[in-house]
Amino acid sequence: MGLTQTLHTGVSGLSSQSDGMGVVANNIANANAKGFKRDRAEFEDMILNDTSAGSKHEKVGRGARIKDIRTIHSQGNLTTTDNLTDLAIQGGGMFILNNPEASKDSSEGRMYTRSGSFIFDREGYLADLSGARVQGYEALPNGQISSRIGDFRINTNSIPPHATESMRLDMNLDARAKVIEGDFDVKQPDSTSNFGTSVAVFDSFGRTHQLQLFFKRMTDGEESSWKWYAVADGKEIVNPDGDLHVVANGELKFNAKGELAEQTTEKSEANFAGGAAAGQAINFDFGKKVADEVKQAVGGTTCLAAKSGTNYHTQDGYESGMIKALRVDPTGVVRGIYTNGLNRNLGAVALATFENVDGLRKGGRNMFFQTMESGPAKVGMAQTSNRGSIWSSTLEESNVDIAQEFVNMILTQRAFQANSRSITTTDTMIEEVLNLKR
């Protein structure tokens, strides 16, 4: 190998180490960039392309060059913020952004990123600061998440009211109560019944009405029975029978163990005043019967020797509500919290994974583009397959280790310095050859 070739070998070392220093400098420059993934310069040696059989020249190196600048997709630290739409991924996957005008060489204008600094734009779409919209799944009217993916948008419309259609009660009626002679008198409900409690229902306008439930023991044999009456304030009823009006009544029967054996409803019709829908029927459900529970009426109304009381009651009506807050689950599902106490699914943020994440091409702004080497994006919800969890009010920091980058900087500097010494030393050797003629 000639001395002049040694000069070129040293120059190749300077060039490759200079590029390596550029990679280190870029990592340090982006140390505070949210979602940034650091790069690593990978070098390879060069040898003489000599086809001579048995030639020793082909074993002599001809310098080095950058083989690849590899992106390291390791997890960055997570930090909390005060912005709900700041999202971070714990685990695998990337957010999907769609902006057809952002890049012509990305499939369908889609880009992928780990930087989750998002906002809602003026049209209600979840987007980054450049206007690229986050991709996600819309919510169906019943709250289920659809399988169709598109620009993620939050529907902030109010929830209309819903009239009470059914009510569930789990109670205990005191088996020690005595049978009260005579019929139930709505004008004197307390003295003609054994137990009373109050429940709230809603009419078609979403207005609240208080119903008083009275229970009167009819028989006290081995199989006892109770009559129940749902009574409303006469001022809230169209054409009431008096100050109080019976809107529903029925009967409960219990076996010798105090378990609910049968429940019937004789009447259920409420005509609330103020223009509400007439004939509102409410299904009163006192729990599962013993026949439905395989000899054990778990969760059903009982008649035991204990003080009468309501263990649990619920109903399906509600007033109209406006959205007051949002919540993002680790599965990426965005839920709306409304002023009437309801929670509803509003959609879900989608994540993408790749068979070869190293094959993605960087596109600036912490974005990546799909390539032939990466393979197609596999899109799904968070916490499915190998996709990670999504955390709201959180951002992923860059995975740059400043200490490690400074060590890399020192090593690169020393390598550059050593290559420069090989050039100056070779120059001295050439000078000695030239001095042979003197």
> What pLDDT digit, counting tens, does each position of 109-152 carry?
789 999 999 999 888 899 998 889 999 999 988 889 999 999 99
Is 49's pLDDT higher than 80? Answer: no
What is the percentage of the chain residues whose pLDDT exceeds 70?
92
Alpha helices by DSSP H, listed for 241-354, are none
- Whether 274 and 180 map to the same domain: the answer is yes
Task: Pick the more confident residue, 71 or 52.
Answer: 71
Is 245's pLDDT higher than 50? Answer: yes
- Whether 100 and 127 map to the same domain: the answer is yes
Cα gap 404→412, rounded to integer Å: 12
Is 216's pLDDT higher than 50? Answer: yes
Count of domains for the chain: 3
| Strand ranges for 269-366 from DSSP E | 283-285, 309-315, 323-328, 333-338, 343-353, 361-364
Residues facing 391 on adjacent strands? 88
Question: Residue 393, by phi and psi: left (phi above 0), alpha (psi -120 to 50) or beta?
Answer: left
Is 272's pLDDT higher than 70? Answer: yes
Return the structure tokens found at 111.
């880009």
- Whether 418 and 386 map to the same domain: the answer is no
Q: Alpha carbon of 227 to those of 194, 333, 422, 437: distances in Å?
A: 10, 46, 105, 128
Task: Pick the more confident residue, 16 or 298.
Answer: 16
- Whether 386 and 404 map to the same domain: the answer is no
Q: Could you say which of 288, 315, 342 is where a domain stops?
A: 315
For the entire predicted model, the pTM comes to 0.78
The model's pLDDT over 321-340, given as tens digits with 9 standing for 90+, comes to 999 999 999 999 999 999 99
- Whether 404 and 392 map to the same domain: the answer is no
CATH of the domain at 242: 2.60.98.20
- Whether 176 and 36 map to the same domain: the answer is no
- Whether 95 and 152 map to the same domain: the answer is yes
- Whether 300 and 200 map to the same domain: the answer is yes
**Average pLDDT value for residue range 8-14:** 82
Cβ-based neighbours of 207, under 8 Å, separated by 6 or more: 272, 274, 276, 319
**Average pLDDT value for residue range 200-217:** 96
**Average pLDDT value for residue range 249-255:** 94
- Whether 55 and 144 map to the same domain: the answer is no
Beta carbons of 270 and 232 less than 8 angstroms apart: yes
| Strand ranges for 173-308 from DSSP E | 195-202, 208-219, 225-233, 244-254, 260-268, 283-285
- Whether 297 and 218 map to the same domain: the answer is yes
Beta carbons of 147 and 156 less than 8 angstroms apart: no
- pLDDT score at 31: 94
- Whether 371 and 383 map to the same domain: the answer is yes
Question: Which H or E element spans position 21?
Answer: helix 3-29
- Whether 244 and 176 map to the same domain: the answer is yes
The DSSP secondary-structure symbol of 92 reads S
Task: Pick the more confident residue, 429 or 389.
Answer: 389
Per-residue pLDDT band at 7 (split at 50, 70, 90): confident
Tokens 């980054």 appear where?
A: 128
- pLDDT score at 13: 80
- pLDDT score at 171: 93
Mean pLDDT (the chain) is: 89
Is 82's pLDDT higher than 80? Answer: yes
Q: Could you say which of 262, 284, 315 is where a domain stops?
A: 315
Domain range enclosing 247: 166-315
- pLDDT score at 53: 52
**Closest to 322 (Cα-Cα) out of 342, 336, 338:** 338
Cα gap 85→115, rounded to integer Å: 12
